[in-house]
Structures are given as structure tokens and as C-alpha cells.
Amino acid sequence: MTAATTQQPAGGVRWFVEGWQPGYGTSFEAPDPGGPAATDDSQDAADLAVELDPAAWQALRQPADVRAPDVVLLVDGVRRIDASLWSDEPDGVSYPAVAASYAAGVVRCDLRRGAATLAGARPERGLFTPNAAATDLTIGQIRYPARRVDHADPATLAQAVQPALAALEIAVSEQARADAGADDELLVVDGPLRGRQLPNTVGYVKSHSRTYLPASLMPVVTGLRPAERSPVFLHGTRWRNYSWYLRLPGPRGAPWAGIVRVECRPDVTAQAAIALADLSLAALPRFASTPYKDPRAPQNLVPIAGLERRLRAMLGDARLLHRALSLGAARPY
């Protein structure tokens, strides 16, 4: 292990920058604390009869009286660990930390004009650590504000960045809505909602790590054709949401190819959730990507892919930031 130390103001915490590149994790792995496993919402009973009785479940198409919204706002965020760090304490205890950069933005898609514009984007940085004595980490013009977290496992410390990113996504979403002067535009959040309470909003989940439906209903989902969706159902405990599956246009492959899960907040009426499901079916398929342009096609929507590239550029060069942190850390007191 190679390390460099950060220079802090008098009374501040002295940090050692992990010499390993962040993509390789850390050279020290803390022992398993033996805590309980995370609750899996997929094992909880779901209300499958929100729209149709389970015995009558079938693929649904866009109703004739439903048209795509005039404007769709697509929200996404990116994050990156710039460096892993360890504190140097007088009593010999060392606390882990990660210096992270993250950004969130909104693309405004005007379907009437066929134009997409960046409606807002904001980058931020943070030093995430359980060390209560930590202060902001400043290297030249670069500042990582100290952000206290509750867990000290270096293997999972990077996960602490996600709530900060989610809060930033909410902030840029609310600002985009405020700038537009209306909240009737469909807002699509790339990823689960995770309790985000925004009006006329759906979460867009590209990959599937959990099973929310019984095996008897799976053929309805895997049998969806492009621009078809499943009936709406209600599921979850901590993050309880209305959900539905839809298949995007694209080449047919594996049973789940091109299928995404869309969700909306649970405090709306069932009729409102069904209306959002129909609206998403009218809007989302037109943004589907193609395999020759995007390896995550068709699920990685075209405006989202462009937004991700813009946001990653706003984070700065990862190698230069890691070098700046290491060089700044190497300066003596």
C-alpha cells in the first residue's frame, strides 16, 4: 500500500490518500460486522389487482384517447469516487473516507418541436466519512465538503454518496419545474424513486435484480410486445410504489430483453397511477436507443445517454483529481 497525506488547517484531521485507484477498492477490507441482511421488498405480498384481477392479467396497449405529453423532463445523475482516504488519529484509530464527485441534470424534451435541451445541471463534491472531527478537504481550488455518515465499512462507504446524489436530483428537478412555471410535464427519473415525492413523476428502472410478481404472472411480462405494458400493481415495504412493466421497441432477444419497470409514488389514487402508466407507454418508447449506438440499448434512453456524457464531463478528469489529491496530501505540515 502506498499513501500520501493531506494538509489540513491547525486542529483539523490529517488524511492519507489511498494509493490504489478507486476502481480497485481499498487495500484494507474491514471484517464483516455481522449485521442483519437487508430486507428484500420483493418477498412482500403485492396488491396485484390494482388495474386488473390477476386471473385476467394481459398485455395492455396505449388507449386511443391517450396521447404523449407535450414535454417530458428526464432526470439522471452520475457519481464517481475520486480517492479513498484514511485518517491519522492521535490514538491510533483510523477512519475511512471517500472523496466523491457527483452531478445531476435534467433534459427537457419538447415533443411538439422535436427538440431536446439541457434544462439544468449541477456538480457537487463531498468527503464522506464516519469521522465526527472531519472538516472540509481543500486542495487548491478543489473543495470536498465534509459529510458525516453512520457506517464505517470501507467496502460500502461509497454507497453513502447515493443519498446525496438523490437529493441533488430532486433539487435540479424542482428547479427545472420552477423555471418552466408548471408541474404538469411528465418527469422521468432514471432509476427507482426511493421515496422522492415529486408530482407527475415516474421512476424508470432499466435492470431487474428482484422479482416482484409470482411465477404465474411472469409469462404476461415476458410475452409483452414492443409498446405494450403489464397491468399496474402495488408492492414494497420501505419504498412502496405502484409499478408496471413495459417493453421498448428493439430486436427481440432474451425473454426480458427491452423490458423496463416503471413506478410512481404510492400516495396517488389507483386511477392516477393507471393514467401515468398509459402516459409512460405513450412517451418512453420513442426515446429507446439502438444497439449500434448504445451497448445498453434499448433501455438506456437516448436523452439520458447524452445527459450522462454531459454530467461526466462536469465531474472533471478522474486521473487529474486523484493526482491533485495525492500531491496535496504529500505536502508536509
Q: What is the pLDDT of residues 239-259, one digit of tens each?
A: 789 999 999 998 877 889 899
Grade residue 226 by pLDDT with cuts at 50, 70 and 90.
Answer: very high
Is 32 inside any structural domain?
Answer: no
What are the grid coordinates assigned to 97, written together? 473516507
More confident of the two residues 292 and 304: 304
* pLDDT of residue 205 exceeding 90: yes
Pairing, β 71-88 against β 14-18: antiparallel
Is 34 inside any structural domain?
Answer: no
* pLDDT tens digits for range 253-302: 788 989 999 999 999 999 999 999 999 999 999 999 998 888 888 999 99
| Per-residue confidence (pLDDT) for residue 22, from 0 to 100 | 59
Is 312 inside any structural domain?
Answer: yes
Is 72 inside any structural domain?
Answer: yes
- Provide the number of structural domains found in the chain: 1
CA-atom Rg of the chain in angstroms: 23
Amino acid at 239: W
Is 40 inside any structural domain?
Answer: no
Grade residue 70 by pLDDT with cuts at 50, 70 and 90.
Answer: very high
Is 35 inside any structural domain?
Answer: no
DSSP 191: B
Q: Which residues contact 110 (CB under 8 A, 6 or more apart)?
A: 70, 71, 116, 117
More confident of the two residues 269 and 140: 269
3-state DSSP call for residue 172? Answer: helix
3-state DSSP call for residue 221? Answer: helix
Pairing, β 96-110 against β 137-139: unpaired
Q: Which residue has the cell 432509476?
A: 191
Grade residue 15 by pLDDT with cuts at 50, 70 and 90.
Answer: confident
Say how many C-beta atoms besides its own lie within 10 A of residue 274's C-beta: 21
Is 219 inside any structural domain?
Answer: yes
Is 267 inside any structural domain?
Answer: yes
Grade residue 68 by pLDDT with cuts at 50, 70 and 90.
Answer: very high
What range does the domain containing 304 cover?
A: 3-27+46-330
* pLDDT tens digits for range 181-194: 766 789 999 999 88
| Per-residue confidence (pLDDT) for residue 218, from 0 to 100 | 94
| Per-residue confidence (pLDDT) for residue 180, from 0 to 100 | 76
| Per-residue confidence (pLDDT) for residue 53, from 0 to 100 | 97
Q: What percent of the chain has pLDDT over 70?
A: 86
CA 65 to chain centroid, in Å, comes to 33
Q: What percent of the chain has pLDDT over 90?
A: 59
* pLDDT of residue 31 exceeding 60: no
